[in-house]
Amino acid sequence: MKKNQFKVLDLFSGCGGLSYGLESLGFKIILGIDNWDIALKTFKRNHSNSEVFLGDLAILFPKKVDKNFDLKKKGIDLIVGGPPCQGFSISGKRAIDDPRNKLYKSFVNFVNYFKPKAFIMENVPNLLSMGEGKLKKEIIDDFQSLGYKIYYKILLASDYGVPQNRRRVFFVGINGSSKYKFLEPTHGKLGIKKVTAKDAIGDLPEKDVADESPYMIKFFSNYQKMMRKRSHGIYNHEAVVHTEKTKKIISMVPDGGNYKDLPKNLQNTRKVNIAWTRFSSSKPSCTIDTGHNHHFHYKYNRVPTARESARLQSFDDSFIFDGKKNEQIKQIGNAVPPILAAAVGKKLLKILYDL
């Protein structure tokens, strides 16, 4: 097997879930760009051979980034990123010409400037149906006009071994005639069981522990074993202190239950249909969000810690998050699960050797 030397530029990189997954395949992550300093601190800590750039991609020109980091000379083979979804609006204009869509436009501009062999653009699935499919068509047209063949698919993270039912759409662009095919699900249908919430977090303690604490019990699933492989102890495991009233309500929801399991008078205490949802110990978790506090541990009467959320997003325990607890949770909820990123990258790698 040839050694993977392909170089990656990560736009809207956040803490680097997408990059971390690609790095596990041997990709070289050259640079992460984001406008959030704390996420970049995490990115730098966990991608020690990469550089980071703090900047607003709405106004940052590719040429400036190129100049600062000598990127064209280094050669960028792959551009990846997920322009934030609030950056998409549908109006009479083409999406790319609407000033509200400047973050998407920035992604297109970077692809146009560096002309990488390929790109991966990730986003929320409902992007495909926005404007009755008009936005999807425009995205495809924009990149086709730059010479890329476009492939897209909604992937379910738990189909690839992530202990979470998270759906995201991936656009893969190829600059050449090779055909990209998304990896078929590896879990669920082929007799390989999906990874459950209990498999993922069942070995982590109920209470807070200080960073670098040793594990208190032995792992009891292959997933836990994998998560601990390069770990130096438990980090980012600070529990939220709920009020007695909140704890009491959570305690009434059974494993895998939700607000419908509460007495009638408590069912409407939170006005969202995902309220008071307890993970099921025997299934992958629901989508890990950026800290809405509506989802609870399958056994303990609290929301998951950052480390538990990170496990459910498939970050291994050696990946350490900077910032305060709520900032850690936000970085984690924003991220592409590294194992899912690797599933997308794996099929790309085969093509890149031929381009």
Closest separation in Å from C-beta 258 to ligand SAM: 26
Known catalytic membership, residue 286: no
Q: Residues 279 to 298: which contact ligand SAM by CB under 6 A? A: none
Active-site pick, 5, 54, 64, 85: 85
Q: Interface mask (CB under 6 A) for ligand SAM, residues 43-72, using x and -?
A: -------------xxx--------------
> Segment 300-339, which members bind ligand SAM (CB under 6 A)?
334-336
Of 33 and 286, nearer to ligand SAM (C-beta) is: 33
The span from the CA of 267 to the CA of 261, in Å, is: 8
What angle, 0 to 180 degrees and rounded to 10, lies between the N-to-C axes of helices 62-69 and 102-114? Answer: 50
Q: What φ, ψ does residue 149 adopt, rounded to 5°?
A: -90, 135
Nearer to ligand SAM, 18 or 339 (CB): 18
- Distance (Å, rounded) from C-alpha 42 to C-alpha 310? 13
Q: Residue 238 gets which letter from DSSP?
A: -
Shortest reach from residue 53's CB to ligand SAM, in Å: 9
Closer residue to ligand SAM (CB): 65 or 250: 65
Out of 6, 27, 36, 276, the residue judged to bind ligand SAM by CB under 6 A: 36
Q: Is 279 helix (H, G, I), strand (E, B) or coil?
A: coil
Q: Considering the complex, what minimum distance in angstroms separates the CB of residue 313 from ligand SAM?
A: 9
Q: What are 273-277's contacts with CB under 8 Å, separation 24+?
A: 276/249, 276/250, 277/253
Q: Is 103 among the residues that bind ligand SAM (CB under 6 A)?
A: yes
Residue 8's SS3 state is strand
Closest to ligand SAM by CB, 24 vs 35, is 35
State CA 140 to chain mean position distance.
Answer: 22
- Cα gap 13→110, rounded to integer Å: 14
- Amino acid of residue 173: G
Given the rule CB under 6 A, which residues bind ligand SAM? 12-18, 34-36, 39, 56-58, 81-82, 84, 103, 334-336
Task: Tell me which residues are annotated as active site.
Answer: 85
